[in-house]
């Protein structure tokens, strides 16, 4: 059901402090902790002695101590101590998952540890460049299949209907958007242009546009479950679109970057890690705060829709669905995921999934 | 499990305003809306594009617009617009249900639309006659099989046990009630007389009885799921009961009418649409309000009992049950429903269920 | 799944007052009530007429009256009255369970009533001796298999990890505890000594120890689901331990008695009846209150751990578990229960389980 040999966002680095931290990923109970040296490790959240979640324990010098009877496990999942100095029984270990901290994320590899290739972790340098891209991040728990969140991001025509009051604006603007979709080495990318259009409320609030704008959304899906966006606008007529390149200076305008990492919790729930970084008014903390708040309102709207959609899909698993004109990118993203799933199932001994290394 | 070729109460007309309104009926998700001309329509609450509930949308000139990507459906369920003027794919439609507004109700036909016969909708004129029958109505969501509510209404001996403090009064009064049960063209009717009895608290509060009363309850079950009652009392000795007719003037006394429309939500939950109309002190809004409040307290007591009964029945589906003396009308109502179910299952091409046309 | 031919704690006697009282035991819905003479009875909590829980009814002279239509059942479960003096149908009865009140408990026999032997009910005289053993009791509802509570009590090494702040104290103290386990006629007993150790916070608060202590926990498991403990401490060096006997005067010290009766509600939930009786400062109500509060805090900690453990066990029913050095008493208690279950399943006509008659 899930592609396992891939990197998923497990947490924001600032979620992992002094106490162990539990999260369910791909329907497995996992405990994350930062060992005495500050290195993050991820273990099965179930003591091999009596099945108690290790998240009730505490971090000690040798590793993570179970909060029930005191067994200690190191970051590789090996039991290194039974209280009283008694024999550590053979087989006393819990599963360990490869993890890596990068760009404010803790990424986790859910498949065969031997196939974990750290060079395939996505680059997202904007999180580490607060001078040009100050950002704020959070995580939502969504009661829906993670693919419904991907679907949502791959069809932005919903902005006029779901987000009219924030980032959307008038539906007609979206209906008339110019779309250009391409396949990348591993995923799908589409550019969307709304030239000479009326700015939506969030843009006016953020950048003070007074007239019409040339507005873009560049969206790229990186399998297995990341979508990154560069979104912005300049005053209409700043340039012109030719062969899907905007000939004109976009640097002076208003733009922001959205990161979306969607990690399955179960088949019908997921964690939605998102950040927004403003490429304007970088010296004003209030600009970042304001954009974050508008984005949160926007994603709250998505959450309501997607969770209701999930309920209907569960009720009518075989109900007919039709495709319409705007479904191209969404369908292509689904095809990528379906192909990866099929490959993984067909060839358990195959190569790791190739994940494009840079969104920067 | 449910008789489908029948009219059920879907909503009170005043529940359907400017925004679409969702309700699950016979375990199907339905959205009701009032189109630009004010006509109510009922559609499957699931967009045929991505499965999103249409209740998140809004009413526009052409019909109901999906709140996710803007497809528009007319009252017959046909998709009449895909945003951007793109092709409406063949098969782009959702199920539509026949509905009719009458006597403050929205009735819905859950079976084959071709068999929907509008002339079979129950008449309940009291709702439209506020001068003689001012009324107040509401809807309860009950966590029980709708038939448990029908059962409850068809055995009024429970009044002395469940509703002693409101409409019941002393158990002994109910034990000694005279009962007369008849089969009607389509359902079951029973009259219940408590002659020369002590008035229960609700009656005293409403009508100021000082002495004993002759008290009646005329109850009729109209399949598939409606029960109507005319209930009242006059001072004891106003008349006498002969051949189940009360020879004496009941018009000057205290009486009220109860409407009970019980619509299955799922196999173990239902909507209980009820109204109470007072045939006394018609010029006093407080009399209607007081009677409504007493009735609500009474039905809250039923709700607690029936929901607990449902839990036990689910736990012990094959547990033995016995019938007692007072079960006659209840058993007859069950037989009617069972026969209709059997007929519908046996003869999918048969005639619509005949529903008596008038309770007025 | 459960041993049925055994006495379980159904309630504290003070829980059964004038109104009927419902509790689910071994996954059966039971109603307890005190009849007109004050004798407690236990019936199936489901009227044989319409399946309504009898707990909605009331106690009358003849027995328990159903709150829906007024049938009355005596303490043996026989329907003795149908309202109106109508015929009581043959077979109108509900299941009745043997019960006995003793030592503040209502014990219930869940198996074949003919095999209920009242002489096998546990003696726990401390509850009836407030001069020497003033006590306070309560009941917790735990969302876990009752055996996880038994497990918890049979491995006290958890005190250093789960209860450091109350009755535990330093983990090292527990690691070094001396243990002596024996099989009793029907169950398992173990003594645990922490000689010359630092007193934990609860002990200091209760008894004002200023120096090190000799500390003991005597724990006995009585099948099917009772654990009794005598726990205490004297100043270190008061005596010495020889052949598992403490040669020295324990009577002047600090000690208390814990009763634990764990009754399955369902396969994954249970009722935890517990009391604590102080054998010190018996004239001070505040001493009892303080010890009870500390114990409640302690058992709240257990509750959190055990309920989380239950969740993991449900998720990974076949997940591997290993045994460690301290698991001896726990494993022996499990063996006793498994043997009783096997015997009951193999020999439905066999002898009642022998339950040791005295913990006093």
Between B296-310, B346-360, C263-277, C334-348, the lowest mean confidence (pLDDT) is in: B346-360
pLDDT at A292: 97
Say whether C84 and B325 touch across the interface (CB within 8 A): yes
Instruction: State mean pLDDT over A261-274.
Output: 98
B156, pLDDT greater than 70: yes
Give chain A's contact residues with B (Cβ, < 8 Å): 151, 155, 157-158, 160-162, 171, 174-176, 304-305, 308-309, 311-313, 315-316, 319-326
pLDDT at A360: 60
Between A172-176, B35-39, C99-103, C215-219, the lowest mean confidence (pLDDT) is in: A172-176
B351, pLDDT greater than 70: no
The residues, ordered by sequence, that sit 6+ positions from A130 with a Cβ below 8 Å of its Cβ are none
CATH T-level assignment (fold) for domain A122-346: Naphthalene 1,2-dioxygenase Alpha Subunit; Chain A, domain 1 (3.90.380)
C187, pLDDT greater than 70: yes
Task: Select the residue of C162, C322, C323 nearest A67 (Cβ to Cβ).
Answer: C162
Question: Among residues of chain C, what percentage have pLDDT more than 90?
Answer: 84
> Is B119 in contact with B107 (CB distance < 8 Å)?
no
Among all residues of chain B, which has the CA nearest to that of A170? B70
* Distances in whole angstroms, Cα of residue B144 to Cα of each of B23, B229, B266, C224: 16, 22, 9, 37
- Give pLDDT tens digits for B237-262: 999 999 999 999 988 779 999 999 99
> Is C43 in contact with C57 (CB distance < 8 Å)?
no
pLDDT at C167: 82
What's the CA gap between B220 and B333, in Å, rounded?
A: 10
Between A291-300, C41-50, C340-349, the lowest mean confidence (pLDDT) is in: C340-349
Write down the pTM of the prediction: 0.92
- Tell me the pLDDT band of C175, cut-offs 50, 70 and 90: confident
User: Which strands sit side by side in the sheet containing C99-102, from one edge to the other?
Assistant: C7-12, C105-109, C99-102
- Give pLDDT tens digits for A138-180: 999 999 999 999 999 999 999 999 998 888 878 888 888 999 9
CB-CB neighbors (< 8 A) of C64 in chain B: none
- Tell me the pLDDT band of C352, cut-offs 50, 70 and 90: low
Mean pLDDT in chain B? 93
Give chain C's contact residues with A (Cβ, < 8 Å): 151, 155, 157-158, 160-162, 171, 174-176, 304-305, 308-309, 311-313, 315-316, 319-326
Q: What are phi and psi of C161, to 5 degrees?
A: -100, -40
A350, pLDDT greater than 60: no
- Tell me the pLDDT band of A222, cut-offs 50, 70 and 90: very high
What's the CA gap between A59 and B317, in Å, rounded?
A: 51
Instruction: State mean pLDDT over B5-22.
Output: 97
What's the CA gap between A42 and A53, in Å, rounded?
A: 13
pLDDT at B323: 94
pLDDT at B1: 85
Q: Write the DSSP string, B291-318.
A: HHHHHHHHHHHHHHHHHHHHHHHHH-TT
CB-CB neighbors (< 8 A) of B159 in chain C: none
With CA atoms as reference, report the closest residue to C308 among B132, A338, A105, A53.
Answer: A53
pLDDT at B348: 66
> How far is the alpha carbon of B332 from chain C, nearest alpha carbon, in Å?
16
- Tell me the pLDDT band of A297, cut-offs 50, 70 and 90: very high
In a mutational test of the A interface, the residue from B43, B49, B50, B64 whose CB has the highest number of chain A CBs within 10 Å is: B50
pLDDT at C154: 97
For residue C177, the number of C-alpha atoms closer than 13 Å in the C-beta half-sphere is 29
Task: Select the residue of A45, A49, A65 nearest C324 (Cβ to Cβ).
Answer: A49
Mean pLDDT in chain C? 93
Task: Select the residue of A162, A309, A325 nearest B82 (Cβ to Cβ).
Answer: A325
What's the CA gap between C79 and C91, in Å, rounded?
A: 9
In a mutational test of the A interface, the residue from B46, B71, B90 whose CB has the highest number of chain A CBs within 10 Å is: B46
SS3 string, chain A, reads: CCCCCCEEEEEEHHHCCCCCEEEEECCEEEEEEECCCCCEEEEECCCCCCCCCHHHCEEECCEEECCCCCCEECCCCEEEECHHHCCCCCCCECCEECEEEECCEEEEECCCHHHCCHHHCCECHHHHCCCCCCEEEEEEEECCCHHHHHHHHHCHHHHHHHCHHHHHCCHHHHHCCEEEEEECCCCEEEEEEEEEECCCHHHHHHHCCCCCEEEEEEEEEECCCEEEEEEEEEECCCCEEECCEEECCCCCCEEEEEEEEEEEEECCEEEEEEEEEECCCCCCHHHHHHHHHHHHHHHHHHHHHHHHHHHHHHHCCCCCCCCCHHHHHHHHHHHHHHHHHHHHHHCCCCCCCCCCCECC
A67, pLDDT greater than 60: yes
CA angle at A353 for the pair A351 and A354, rounded to the nearest 5°: 105
- Give pLDDT tens digits for C19-36: 999 999 999 999 999 999
Say whether B71 and A324 touch across the interface (CB within 8 A): yes
With CA atoms as reference, report the closest residue to C87 among B322, B26, B3, B218.
Answer: B322
Place of tokens 């407690």: C40
Question: Tokens representing A333?
Answer: 């993203």
- Neighbouring C-beta atoms of residue A348, cutoff 10 Å: 10
pLDDT at B352: 53
A74, pLDDT greater than 70: yes
Among all residues of chain C, which has the CA nearest to that of B178? C84
Higher per-residue confidence, B200 vs B269: B269
The residues, ordered by sequence, that sit 6+ positions from C72 with a Cβ below 8 Å of its Cβ are C60, C62, C63, C64, C65, C66, C79, C80, C81
Instruction: State mean pLDDT over A208-220.
Output: 95
> Is C101 in contact with C339 (CB distance < 8 Å)?
no
> How far is the alpha carbon of A199 from chain B, nearest alpha carbon, in Å?
19
- Give pLDDT tens digits for A76-117: 999 999 998 788 998 999 999 999 999 999 999 999 999 999
What's the CA gap between A196 and A231, in Å, rounded?
A: 16
- Neighbouring C-beta atoms of residue B87, cutoff 10 Å: 10
What's the CA gap between B135 and B232, in Å, rounded?
A: 16
- Tell me the pLDDT band of B202, cut-offs 50, 70 and 90: confident
A279, pLDDT greater than 70: yes
pLDDT at B72: 97
Task: Kindly report the length of chain A.
Answer: 360
Expressed in percent and rounded to 5, the helix, strand and coil fractions of chain B are 30, 35, 35
Task: Select the residue of A158, A312, A325 nearest B51 (Cβ to Cβ).
Answer: A312
> Is C48 in contact with C79 (CB distance < 8 Å)?
yes
In the DSSP assignment, the letter for residue B168 is: I
Among all residues of chain C, which has the CA nearest to that of A48? C321
Tell me which long-range contacts C74-81 makes (C-beta under 8 A, separation of at least 24): C74/C35, C74/C41, C75/C35, C75/C39, C75/C41, C75/C43, C76/C41, C77/C43, C77/C44, C79/C48
Instruction: State mean pLDDT over C85-90.
Output: 87
User: Which strands sit side by side in the sheet containing B7-12, from one edge to the other?
Assistant: B7-12, B105-109, B99-102
B356, pLDDT greater than 50: no
pLDDT at B85: 79
Burial of C51 (0-12, 13-18, 19+ CB in 10 A): buried
pLDDT at B206: 87
Mean pLDDT in chain A? 93
C348, pLDDT greater than 70: no
> Is B202 in contact with B215 (CB distance < 8 Å)?
no
Tell me yes or no: is domain C7-116 CATH 3.40.50.261.
no
CB-CB neighbors (< 8 A) of A85 in chain C: 175
Between A265-279, B2-16, B318-332, the lowest mean confidence (pLDDT) is in: B318-332
- Give pLDDT tens digits for A7-61: 999 999 999 999 999 999 999 999 999 998 999 999 999 999 999 999 999 999 9
- Give pLDDT tens digits for C265-312: 999 999 999 999 999 999 999 999 999 999 999 999 999 999 999 999
pLDDT at B282: 95
pLDDT at A132: 96
CB-CB neighbors (< 8 A) of B52 in chain A: 305, 308-309, 312
The structural domains of chain A, with segments of one domain joined by +, span 7-116, 122-346
Q: Count A/C contacts: CB-CB distance under 8 Å.
A: 81
Among all residues of chain B, which has the CA nearest to that of C72? B161
CATH topology identical between B7-116 and B122-346 = no
What's the CA gap between A66 and A72, in Å, rounded?
A: 6
Give chain C's contact residues with B (Cβ, < 8 Å): 29, 45-46, 48-53, 55-57, 65-71, 82-87, 89, 91-92
- Give pLDDT tens digits for C319-332: 999 999 889 999 99
Look at residue C144 and give its three-state secondary structure: coil
C47, pLDDT greater than 80: yes
Between A331-340, B351-360, C226-235, C248-257, the lowest mean confidence (pLDDT) is in: B351-360
- Tell me the pLDDT band of C356, cut-offs 50, 70 and 90: very low
* Distances in whole angstroms, Cα of residue B83 to Cα of each of A134, A194, B33, C231: 36, 15, 21, 76
């Amino acid at each position: 059901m899930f592609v396992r040999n891939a990197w998923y966002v497990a947490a924001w680095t600032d979620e992992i402090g002094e106490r162990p931290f539990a999260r369910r990923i791909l329907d497995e109970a996992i405990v994350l902790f930062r060992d005495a040296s500050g290195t993050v490790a991820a273990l099965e959240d179930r003591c091999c002695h009596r099945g108690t979640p290790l998240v009730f324990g505490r971090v000690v010098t040798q590793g993570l101590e179970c909060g029930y009877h005191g067994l200690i496990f190191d970051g590789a999942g090996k039991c290194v101590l039974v209280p009283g100095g008694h024999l550590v029984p053979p087989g006393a270990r819990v599963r360990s998952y490869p993890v890596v901290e990068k760009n404010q994320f803790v990424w986790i590899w859910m498949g065969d540890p031997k196939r974990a290739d750290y060079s395939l972790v996505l680059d997202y340098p904007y999180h580490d460049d607060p001078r040009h891209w100050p950002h704020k991040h959070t995580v939502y728990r969504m009661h829906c299949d993670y693919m419904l969140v991907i679907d949502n991001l791959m069809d932005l025509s919903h902005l006029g209907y779901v987000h009219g009051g924030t980032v959307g604006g008038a539906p007609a603007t979206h209906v008339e958007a110019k779309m250009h979709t391409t396949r990348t080495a591993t995923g799908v990318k589409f550019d969307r242009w709304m030239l000479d259009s009326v700015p939506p409320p969030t843009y006016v609030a953020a950048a003070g546009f007074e007239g019409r704008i040339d507005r873009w959304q560049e969206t790229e899906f990186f399998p297995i479950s990341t979508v990154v966006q560069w979104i912005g606008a300049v005053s209409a007529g700043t340039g012109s679109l030719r062969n899907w390149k905007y000939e004109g200076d976009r640097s002076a305008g208003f733009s922001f970057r959205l990161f979306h990492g969607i990690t399955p919790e179960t088949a019908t729930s997921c964690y939605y890690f998102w950040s927004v970084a403003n490429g304007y008014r970088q010296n004003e903390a209030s600009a970042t705060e304001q954009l974050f708040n508008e984005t949160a309102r926007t994603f709250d709207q998505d959450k309501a829709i997607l969770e209701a959609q999930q309920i209907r899909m569960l009720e009518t698993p075989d109900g007919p669905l039709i495709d319409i004109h705007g479904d191209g990118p969404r369908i292509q993203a689904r095809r990528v995921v379906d192909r990866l799933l099929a490959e993984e199932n067909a060839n358990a001994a195959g190569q790791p999934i190739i994940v494009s290394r840079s969104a920067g």
